[in-house]
Chains A and B, each alone.
Chain A
């Protein structure tokens, strides 16, 4: 099982299972423009790949994002967040 940790002073992340998807609610704290950029880059990456329904981003006011992630793209999404420094650590746990 893949687990992750994030810095609550940069982002707040909450995830819930919903059928075949995992839904994330990510809120970037206002004083963290780099985190917003990171999330935008992650979004651009998933929107430019060939699969249209792997990871879908929905922007809400107050720098809050809902992200619907297909289960088979869960790991890829988490690693993308890590790549853009939105997560502190990622770890496989038995």
Chain B
């Protein structure tokens, strides 16, 4: 192996280890890794820039702006209170309703944003009902990861896969992943009801207090709400039509974001830009450059070759290997660097003669997204919910979560294996 490749592997492993150790912020670590790849001459700056996927970054920035502004209107609180009233103030039904809202929200917004919007309203409703919020929050963690699986924009792994493989459009993600995401949710919900029903009982007068709430009072700015809903709607329609319009998903998201800022006026712009998680954006940039070092030195090609040797190039075996490896890895590691490494590997398998790559892409998406449910550290949304819950006096422990999360994650991967096999490989 060439000296450059050995350097690239060493930097990659060191940076990966530091990301896992979480002693230093992952963005700083990833950016240092990227800078090392360039400054040691493993990739030149032009090649490094070429490897940064601006479609992924543009999509993330655009959606963060739209959702950040929309959250200010009180829309999500309105939906949650309305659904609690439709559930007649019954805690089990409210749990199911909030879980479904989280799943749908995570499919069209990103998971972290969705849970950040849902957690405060969950605290509010459960406090009113005087029930423990933890079962609601655990169900929402699962829903955010499952819902995020369903679309191209739902979860960072899907954004990255959709961006890297032009044939996998927004509609392709929905038609291939939404059915299995719906199946997993349909299996999970009765399990949540069965597990938590006895822990979330309340008194009739408290149910009535939910029924009497005036949901319209939570809308803070009606004019802004109409503008946000219109732009969000246009943007989502744009995603459905992006292939027909010959536009990348980032163009659609950024067009939506700046149309909204045009409608809301300059005063909203400064605040909207503070809603963009710049640390996440730079984390991606660092990772793209880090992985470019492995691609340019031929390490990824070598790994792909070995994976094909292991599975004999058989699509069924390769799909299952990717699905299960992604799921187990994503349960304990950050799925973004994992997917960033797997994408060029699968592309390389295509170059080596594996003709049907489609099941491999869906296996990667399903494994990386659903695997996040395996443990509390499996996805950013999990950590954020647990952090907020702990801060408010309701800790969700690592072991407590893994006892529920790991078996449920395995169940979803078994269902996904059956789905992949029946739909693409039979």
Contacts and interface: CB of A to CB of B under 8 A. Distances in A.
Nearest to B220: A44
Contacts of B395: none
A66 interface: yes
Contacts, number: 36
Given A51-B392, A66-B209, A56 B119 contact: no
Q: Which 5 A-B pairs have the closest CB atoms?
A: A59-B217, A53-B392, A59-B214, A52-B120, A52-B123
Interface string B117-128: 001100110011
A92 to B, nearest CB: 28
Interface of B: 119-120, 123-124, 127-128, 209, 212-214, 217-218, 220, 388, 391-393
Contacts of B392: 51-53
A56 B213 contact: no
Contacts of A47: 120
B123 A59 contact: no
A60 B212 contact: yes
A32 to B, nearest CB: 16
Contact of B127 (A40, A61, A68): A68
Interface string A51-77: 111001011110000101000000000
B128 A68 contact: yes
Contacts of A53: 123, 127, 392-393
B124 A61 contact: no
A85 to B, nearest CB: 20
A70 to B, nearest CB: 9
A58 B85 CA distance: 13
A60 B128 CA distance: 13
Given A47-B120, A66-B209, A56 B217 contact: no
30 contacts: A40-B220, A44-B220, A47-B120, A51-B391, A51-B392, A52-B119, A52-B120, A52-B123, A52-B388, A52-B391, A52-B392, A53-B123, A53-B392, A53-B393, A56-B124, A56-B127, A58-B128, A58-B213, A59-B213, A59-B217, A59-B218, A60-B212, A60-B213, A60-B214, A61-B212, A61-B214, A66-B128, A66-B209, A68-B127, A68-B128
B74 to A, nearest CB: 9
Contacts of B128: 56, 58, 66, 68
- Classify chain A's interface size: 10 to 19
A83 to B, nearest CB: 19
A11 to B, nearest CB: 16
Contacts of B388: 52
Nearest to B119: A52
Contacts of B213: 58-60
Contact of A58 (B120, B123, B124, B393): B124
Contacts of A61: 212, 214
Contacts of B220: 40, 44
A84 to B, nearest CB: 16
A59 B124 CA distance: 12
A60 B392 CA distance: 25
A40 B393 CA distance: 26
Contacts of A68: 127-128
Contacts of A59: 213-214, 217-218
A45 to B, nearest CB: 13
A53 B125 CA distance: 11
A68 B126 CA distance: 12
Contacts of A58: 124, 128, 209, 213
Given A52-B120, A53-B393, A60-B212, 4 more contacts: A47-B120, A51-B391, A66-B209, A68-B128
A82 B389 CA distance: 30
Nearest to B389: A52
Contacts of B391: 51-52
A68 B388 CA distance: 19
